[in-house]
Amino acid sequence: MNQLFDMPSYLEHSYLGLVGLHLREALLPVLAGLVVALPVAQLCVRFRWLYPPVLWVTTVLYAIPSLAFFVVLIDYTGLSELTVMIPLAVYSLVVLVPAIVDGVRSVPQETLAAATAMGFGPVRRYLQVQLPIAAPAILAGLRVAAVSSISLVSVGMLIGNAGALGNLLDSGLKYDQPRLVWLSVVGTAVLAIAVDALLIVLRVLLTPWMPRGTRRSTRTPLAKETAR
Amino acid sequence: MNILNFIDAFFSDSARWQGYDGIPARLGEHVQYTLTALGIAAAVGLPVGLLTGHTGRGGNALALIATSARALPSFGLMVLMFLLLGLGMAPVMIPLVVLAVPPILVTTNEAMRSVDPAPVDAARGMGMGEAQILFRVELPTALPLILSGLRSAAIQIVSTATIAAYVSFGGLGRYIVDGLYQRDYEKVVGGATLVAGLAVATLVLFWGAGRLSVSRGVRRDG
């Protein structure tokens, strides 16, 4: 049983080590994307004219293939994890901005007026009214970003073996060991499903006022529905 | 400015424009992979999406399929298929189609279900048959969303077909993968530029197709 998870020594990681590396390489960019997306989205909500051009730029950025994005960065950041993480952060940003804008915009005008009437300033209104109501939409965006990020990290293997679980693909192919390839594919898929499930749980915890099972209201923007 | 110099050097080398490893040949291969995979995926996804959307059934099952397909790492799947099936068209086509079916399927289904029921009822009242309602009322109304599903599928295919070069296939990814092995950064950047250009061209193509085929009454941006 132990042999199933034995790793070639040159990978310098145990299987669990690779899993940890994979999670870090996939999720840190999503976090970075979220941190940047929140203010950008707020700007787009505040200044309506800004949104169409931002949407246009994000659509084009999202279309740039990951491998092309990686290799252009090599010149600046070398063959490193950072080269993989920067594009993933950009993809996350691009998925999250429309999700947050749609979420924040869906807050009814009456609710905002009520908050103002209760004496909420703009900051408090944003943090205590707009963000919680937009939470399902934001988390739906986070799910898409996280799952696609986990899948894309593997491509980093082509960039100086910076692909965490994806590095197993190379070893498996070179030394004709299907076991390693299976470990990589199944491991990545399980990670993606697990993180997806965790985010669903997080949404249920964050929005206790929503009836269970109202999946429909949390639909993601359709064009960004699936990962690359 | 470094990158721009590389790009310039890549494209101004006349040897790059001919032969089996020339830009036209590789671009042709890439487009061929993309069209084949998109064709198969559309042949599977469009009818199923249209029918389930028309009848309003099976939406949850479709969402489940889409979620699980999204979790599959396409790169890993490609390597796995290559290892299991050997060199051939199938190891590339299977992951590409698996990748492209869910967005087409789910978006088509959603598009059909989000059609305003009033015109559909009116059409039924006018005596249109189900097929007529589907093709003459629902399809034209749902077309913008359906096209956006096809568009994201196409872009994902263009992107993932690049990676096929790693398992010994042609296409524009060849430049990137070979360039990385040969430490020929000019080739790598040239390939990346071509792939990115193709992806943006796909966007523009679908935008144009939308302008041409979507009825003016349906078009949102006027």
* Domain range summary for chain B, segments of one domain joined by +: 29-116+125-213
**Interatomic CA distance for residues B152 and A200, integer angstroms:** 24
Contact, B46 vs B131, CB < 8 A?
Answer: no
The fourth-level CATH superfamily of domain A13-224 is MetI-like (1.10.3720.10)
Q: Three-state DSSP class for A77?
A: helix
Q: How confident is the model at residue B222 (pLDDT cuts 50, 70, 90)?
A: very low
For residue B165, pLDDT over 90 is answered with: no
Asked if B83 lies within 8 A of A172 by C-beta distance, the reply is yes
Asked if A225 lies within 8 A of B160 by C-beta distance, the reply is no
Cα dihedral A88, A91, A96, A101 sign: positive
**What residues in B contact A155, CB-CB < 8 Å?**
75, 163
Asked if A222 lies within 8 A of B155 by C-beta distance, the reply is no
Taking the Cβ of residue B69 and every Cβ of chain A, the question of whether any pair is shorter than 8 Å is answered with: yes
Q: Which residue among A71, A165, A192 places its CB closest to the CB of B176? A: A71
**What residues in B contact A63, CB-CB < 8 Å?**
155, 159, 196, 199-200, 202-203
For residue A32, pLDDT over 90 is answered with: yes
Q: What percent of chain B has pLDDT over 90?
A: 21
**Interatomic CA distance for residues B78 and A47, integer angstroms:** 44
**Interatomic CA distance for residues A144 and A92, integer angstroms:** 8
Minimal C-alpha gap between B150 and chain A (Å)? 9
Q: Which residue among B73, B180, B188 places its CB closest to the CB of A154? A: B73
Minimal C-alpha gap between A99 and chain B (Å)? 17
Q: Tell me: the pLDDT tens digits for B90-141?
A: 888 998 998 899 889 888 988 888 888 898 899 999 999 888 888 888 888 8
Asked if A178 lies within 8 A of B83 by C-beta distance, the reply is yes
At residue A217, the pLDDT reads: 43
Taking the Cβ of residue B110 and every Cβ of chain A, the question of whether any pair is shorter than 8 Å is answered with: yes
Asked if B192 lies within 8 A of A226 by C-beta distance, the reply is no
Lookup: tokens for A112: 């905002």
Contact, B104 vs B153, CB < 8 A?
Answer: yes
Most B CBs within 10 Å, among A149, A168, A228, to test the B interface: A228
Most B CBs within 10 Å, among A55, A60, A67, A155, to test the B interface: A67
Instruction: Report phi then psi at A6, rounded to 5.
Output: -65, 135
Contact, B156 vs B103, CB < 8 A?
Answer: yes
Residue indicated by tokens 């790059």 = B16
**What residues in B contact A192, CB-CB < 8 Å?**
70-71, 73
Q: Which residue among B71, B80, B188 places its CB closest to the CB of A181? A: B80
Contact, A129 vs A100, CB < 8 A?
Answer: no
Lookup: tokens for A120: 């909420």
Query: Mind giving me the DSSP string for chain B?
Result: -HHHHHHHHHHH-GGGGSSTTSHHHHHHHHHHHHHHHHHHHHHHHHHHHHHHHHHT--HHHHHHHHHHHHHS-HHHHHHHHHHHH-SSSHHHHHHHHHHHHHHHHHHHHHHHHTS-HHHHHHHHHTT--HHHIIIIIIHHHHHHHHHHHHHHHHHHHHHHHHHGGGGT--STHHHHHHHHHTT-HHHHHHHHHHHHHHHHHHHHHHHHHHHHHS-TTT-TT-
Minimal C-alpha gap between A7 and chain B (Å)? 17
Tell me the pLDDT of chain A averaged across its residues.
84
Q: Tell me: the pLDDT tens digits for B187-196?
A: 888 888 899 8
Q: Minimal CA–CA distance to B91: which of A189, A181, A64, A183?
A: A181
**Interatomic CA distance for residues B81 and B75, integer angstroms:** 10
Q: How confident is the model at residue B89 (pLDDT cuts 50, 70, 90)?
A: confident
Q: Tell me: the pLDDT tens digits for A68-95?
A: 888 888 888 877 888 889 999 999 998 9
Contact, B90 vs B81, CB < 8 A?
Answer: yes
Q: Which residue among A66, A74, A225 places its CB closest to the CB of B159? A: A66
Q: Minimal CA–CA distance to B158: which of B171, B169, B145, B147?
A: B171
Q: How confident is the model at residue A221 (pLDDT cuts 50, 70, 90)?
A: very low
Minimal C-alpha gap between B131 and chain A (Å)? 26
Fold entry, domain B29-116+125-213 = MetI-like fold (1.10.3720)
Contact, A4 vs A59, CB < 8 A?
Answer: no
**Interatomic CA distance for residues A67 and B196, integer angstroms:** 10
Asked if A75 lies within 8 A of B2 by C-beta distance, the reply is yes
Chain B's closest residue to A59, CA to CA, is: B203
Q: How confident is the model at residue A225 (pLDDT cuts 50, 70, 90)?
A: very low
Contact, B37 vs B157, CB < 8 A?
Answer: yes
Taking the Cβ of residue B147 and every Cβ of chain A, the question of whether any pair is shorter than 8 Å is answered with: no
Q: Three-state DSSP class for A13?
A: coil
CB proximity under 8 Å: B 9-48 to A: none
Q: Which residue among A147, A182, A225 places its CB closest to the CB of B80? A: A182
**Interatomic CA distance for residues B90 and A29, integer angstroms:** 33
Asked if B149 lies within 8 A of A75 by C-beta distance, the reply is no
Across B10-37, average pLDDT: 86
Asked if B203 lies within 8 A of A185 by C-beta distance, the reply is no
C-alpha B196 chain-centroid distance: 14
Between A107 and A222, whose confidence is greater?
Answer: A107
